[in-house]
Structure formats: structure tokens, C-alpha cells
Amino acid sequence: MSTPLGLYQPGDSPLHRAPAGWKFLGLIAFATVLVVFDEPVPLALGGVAVLVGFVVARIGPGRVLRMMRLLLVLLAAVLALQWWLIGPESAIVVCLRLLVAISAANLFTLTTRIGDLVSAIERGLAPTRRLGVRPELLGLLVGLTVQAVGALSTIAEQTRQAQRARNATRSVSAFAVPFLVRTLRHADELGEALAARGVGDTAPEEPNRPEGAEHGPARGGGD
């Protein structure tokens, strides 16, 4: 099972055991390559590679379809709009690129613990501490960004199930309003959790002031 705030699915596949830092770098490189290609065939081959990754990670097709259901609906709308604006070939390229990139990101989150990713980023950026960079905050930022994908996917799926239970599948507001409320509630809870850990409470250090300066400049005495 995935955690409430993430998509991680425990396993012992080669992708699960691979170091989180190297997987993250591989994801960035893969997304960069997808941007370079602007033809359907290379992008489709990238999609096949991601599909092989799901098979290697032993993630069932049912889980993948549940994750991608909302995305496929959105991509259908994007495809129709792009087809009308820029033509069929360019529309297919845009949607293929989005589909493959998001699928690769989902595969990454399914096979990587957020804590492992944060730790890997902190270790990798440790030398930058001398330059005034705080690796722990950068690692936390990346971890929260990746975690947000799982959180929003979980909220969307729960909202959709509640919508079906009320027989309101055709009502846009029956999905949009609860989804917005749950998302804002999650953001509020996340903010409280970060505040409890002291994130953002570090005040800038004041420069050293000479003793007695806080009382204002000394007044000159009379002759």
C-alpha cells in the first residue's frame, strides 16, 4: 500500500534497490531527453522504456491505470485543443511528451522513499554549505515537491470515489469543490507540520554592534 502522502509501493525490485540520488539524476536526464525530441517515434520509444520500468518494478497494470486515469482525461482535452490550434502531429508530440514524462515521474515515486531522496540530496549538496547554501532545506523542498504529486493524486482519487458514491459523477462542482477544500486542508496541515519542525523560523543574524550603541549616539558634554 502507498502512504497517505505519497505513492511509494514497497518492493525489492532492482529499481527499488537503486540509490535514490542516481534515480533522481536519471529522471532529470530522461526528462531532458524528452524535451530534445520532437518526433512521435522517439517519444513512443521512451514510453516503452517507462513501461518496461513498471514491469521490472512489478507494479500491476491496475495500479498504473488508477494513477493515470485523471491524467488521461486531461491529456484527451489537451490533445483536442492542441489538434485544433497547431495541428495533429504537433498535438501528438506534446501529449506524448507529457504522458511519458509524468509516467516516468510516477515510476520514480512508486519505487523511491521520500526520506531516501531527501537524504541523497543533502549528501550530494553538502559541499555547497561553504557557499551559504542549506542542503537540508533544498532536500526538503525537492522531497515536498515529489510528495505533492502523490498527495494530490490520492486526494483526487478519494474525491472521485466520494463523488461516485453520491451518484454525482456528471457534476463538475461535486468534484471541484471537495477537491479544492481537501487540497487546502492538506496544505494547512503541511504548513503546521513544517512550523512544528521549525522550518522558516531562523532569523537573520544581526551584525555586531559596539557596546552601548543600543542607547543611541553619545551626546557631547559642555565645555
* DSSP state string for 134-173: -HHHHHHHHHHHHHHHHHHHHHHHHHHHHHHHTT-TT-SH
Contact present, 117 and 27 (Cβ < 8 Å):
no
Question: Would you list the domain boundaries of the chain?
Answer: 14-196
H helices of the chain, in order, are 14-17, 20-36, 40-56, 61-86, 88-111, 114-124, 135-165, 173-196
120 burial level (CB within 10 Å; 0-12, 13-18, 19+): buried
Nearest to 114 by CA among 36, 11, 6: 6
Query: With 50 as the cut, is the pLDDT of residue 214 above it?
Result: no
State pLDDT tens for residues 51-106.
Answer: 999 999 998 888 888 777 777 877 888 888 888 888 888 888 888 888 898 888 88
What size, in residues, is the chain? 223
More confident residue, 87 or 50: 50
State pLDDT tens for residues 92-151.
Answer: 888 888 889 888 888 888 898 878 887 887 787 777 777 776 766 666 666 666 666 666
Q: Which triple of cell numbers denotes residue 91?
A: 498535438
Q: Is the dihedral of CA 82, 84, 85, 88 positive or negative?
A: positive
Most trustworthy range by pLDDT among 6-10, 38-42, 152-156, 193-197: 38-42
